A and B are shown apart, each in its own frame.
Chain A
Amino acid sequence: MSRLRREQIVGLLMTLPALLLLSIFFLYPLFNSFWMSLHKWPLFGKPKWVGLDNYVWMINDERFWQCLKFTLVYTITVTPMLFIVAIGTALLCNVKTWGTTFFRSIYFLPVVMSFATASFVWLWLYSEWYGVIIFLLKAIGFGPEDGQLSVWTDGWTAMWAVNAMVTWKFAGIQMIILLAGLQSIRDDYYEASRLMGASRFQTIWNITLPLLRPSIALALILSIAGSIQAYEQFQIMTRGGPMNETKTLVMLTIGMGFDYFKLGPAAALGVIIMSILFVITLIQLRLFRKAY
């Protein structure tokens, strides 16, 4: 056996565990999900080929559009919140001075907590009887005098309440991404703008942000992808909210598959979610094409 041949085989063997895991637990389910979505799956008996019926059924169901609409509204509202906080803290941390490292660690801290734990923490904060946020809001003057102030009775306020939690939790990751981008901007640019007498705001607007494009693109893509797949935060905090107003696409998928045992439509939903993500990511990459 030639030396090259032996090297190739040993190399392949080394990557084999990873490839095996990938094939069994990722590639196979990936193709299977397309396959499953094209069949009807009775509990007993053989699966029946139905072609695109599951997709047609799903698209004709109001539940799908309600969840899709909410998922998109949620994504559109939470993304700017996350971004603004992230860029703000990133700019703040982009200085070489005592305390910066400390501040940065704190801003990143909520990220490491699990999503579920963060949901519990904020559920307690928002508790309509004993929660401290409700207490503070009432002190400022919100809510009826005698009644209970609850953020969960209206779908809109429920969403914003959850947005606050998500921003607190994930701004840290975006901050790190943006920070890395900020640090790669060479000091000459800042020198030049300072020499030209630009104000801080002008510097940020004309120099920093454009040069930050690739990092912004990455941060946004990750953020939007995550928002479209929202599940835990709403499952734990609102359980779909008042009358399904805060039900997300993923919640619908899981319900369809595991509560109603309609496996075909559930798989179809999974494929639809994948496609939506694919299209949105593609659009974002296009928009940011001009990045350096």
Chain B
Amino acid sequence: MNYILKFLIIFSTIFSISKTVLSEELIIWSRGGWSDWMVEGFNKKMADEGKDIVAINNLIGHADFQVKFTAALAAGERVDVANIDLINVPYYAEIGALEDITDFLKSKDYYDKLLKGMLALGTNNGRHFAAPNAADVSGYVVNKKLIPNPPTNWAEMTELCKQFAADGKILIAWPGNNYGGQIFTVMPVAWANGGSWTSFDGSKAELNHPKTIEMYEHYQNMINIGCVPKNVSSWGWGDKQDGFLAGDIGMIGTGNFMINVVKDHLDKVDPHFMAFMSKDGSTKSAFIGGDLIAIPVTTGNKKAALEYIEYVLSYEGQVEVYTKNGGIPVRSDLFEGNPYLTDQHMVFANAVNEPAASAPFTYVYQELMDPWLVFNQRIWNGEDVKTVADEQTAAMQKIIDSGY
């Protein structure tokens, strides 16, 4: 008996030592460039506090993230913390790929200040599986060199459109060929107007909401008037952005990152940021996008992972790292007195609080992108909006019904 006991004690000591040695490492998967600085800051803090945790950043980039992350999960590869595009999170939460962090979040005093729209996408059956950590908010940017008086409602936009068309210039352009870009910068205008993409729980496709149809007819009208390029359905994200930065396009839909980007082009552009608006301009909206941070079930060290999340959501993480580099914090209590939030940033920060601002909830985002893109392209190519909306909504509904 003594021998066995001794052996067990020695063995468990070695085991726990080696476990600490091995589990020191924290594997983080990220999408955005700022994550390097976040990880740097975290490691420094851990060193200062004498804790033996070292985070390693795996910058996957957003083009391949979803595919690679899903493949890693399927293979059981160890990932301790993942920064996931929020629109994909409901799927991961639903299939049980993420750890439950409800208690951790609720214990924080800023819990009810976390951006609700984002938090909702990380919630499944009342439990939280992901927390917001990086907000990417969308809105219009207007070049005041070309448009001295930015439009405040659709009627003004149409007027401007006629003027620009008469001069042979482009008032507005959008990425007709890019499904992500359009859900980020075109759909929110429909939301401001009262439409929706899917129902709140993601079970119904709602593209053919009358208010959505009204908005799409407004945009289609602008193409007909001639202030939008006729081939806008083949335009990519880079096309419209480069066109705007070169001073050739009056206004475009964009995100808060643009605040930093446009600084290099002030010779051609005098930027004015504003939120998407409803027909009469009274209701505003935005796509509250960005990342949610979560702990996959394949993690090797949940405790250390929670430390990392704590850092990310702390003042230092949100303000000193994230906002300093142009982001919008995910805690509304950090909007006030934030040294890095300029007026331009506040346009986006305020849009977040608008009731119409949101991000759609769905389990099958990847597959829905197909009918969504076709919906947009058919309309930009001139087809009747209501017909297209009905057909594409049916296509989307079919995909939602067959599940993931």
Contact = CB atoms under 8 A, between A and B. Distances in A.
B2 interface: no
Nearest to B234: A153
Contacts of B373: 243
B165 to A, nearest CB: 14
A260 B366 contact: yes
A44 B97 contact: yes
Nearest to A152: B234
B378 A42 contact: no
A244 B95 contact: no
Contacts of B96: 44
Contact of B402 (A57, A148, A259): A57
Interface residues of B, number: 24
Interface in B220-261: 230-231, 233-234
A197 interface: no
Given A150-B234, A259-B366, A260-B367, A44 B377 contact: no
Contact of B231 (A43, A62, A153): A153
B157 interface: no
Contacts of B95: 42-44
Nearest to A57: B402
A261 interface: yes
B231 A243 contact: no
| Chain A interface category by residue count | 10 to 19
Nearest to B373: A243
A269 to B, nearest CB: 14
Contacts of A259: 67, 366
Given A147-B230, A148-B231, A260-B367, A243 B70 contact: no
Given A43-B95, A62-B395, A243 B67 contact: no
Interface string A134-162: 00000000000001101011000000000
A89 B241 CA distance: 48
Contact of B67 (A42, A57, A258): A258
A242 B233 CA distance: 9
Interface string B364-387: 101100100110011001000000
Nearest to B230: A147
A244 B374 contact: yes
Which residue, B367, B374, B378, B395, has most C-beta atoms of chain A within 10 A? B367
Q: Is chain A's interface secondary structure helix, strand, loop, or mixed overall?
A: loop
B161 to A, nearest CB: 19
Interface in A35-58: 42-44, 57
Interface string A115-147: 000000000000000000000000000000001
Contacts of B5: none
Interface in A212-271: 242-244, 258-261
B73 interface: yes
A148 B234 CA distance: 12
A113 B204 CA distance: 48
A242 B73 CA distance: 33
Contacts of A260: 364, 366-367
A53 to B, nearest CB: 11
B292 to A, nearest CB: 18
Interface in B177-228: none
Nearest to B378: A243
B1 interface: no
Interface string B58-100: 0000000001001001100000000000000000000111000
Contacts of A152: 234
Nearest to B96: A44
Contacts of B395: 62
Contact of A242 (B70, B230, B377): B377
A43 B234 contact: no
29 contacts: A42-B95, A43-B74, A43-B97, A44-B73, A44-B95, A44-B97, A44-B297, A57-B402, A62-B395, A63-B370, A147-B230, A147-B231, A148-B231, A150-B231, A150-B234, A152-B234, A153-B231, A153-B234, A242-B233, A242-B234, A242-B377, A243-B374, A243-B377, A243-B378, A244-B370, A258-B67, A259-B366, A260-B367, A261-B70
Interface of A: 42-44, 57, 61-63, 147-148, 150, 152-153, 242-244, 258-261
Q: Which 9 residue pairs are nearest across A and B when measured between Cβ atoms?
A: A243-B374, A260-B367, A243-B377, A260-B366, A43-B95, A43-B74, A259-B366, A261-B70, A44-B96
Given A57-B402, A243-B378, 7 more contacts: A62-B395, A148-B231, A153-B231, A243-B373, A259-B67, A260-B364, A260-B366
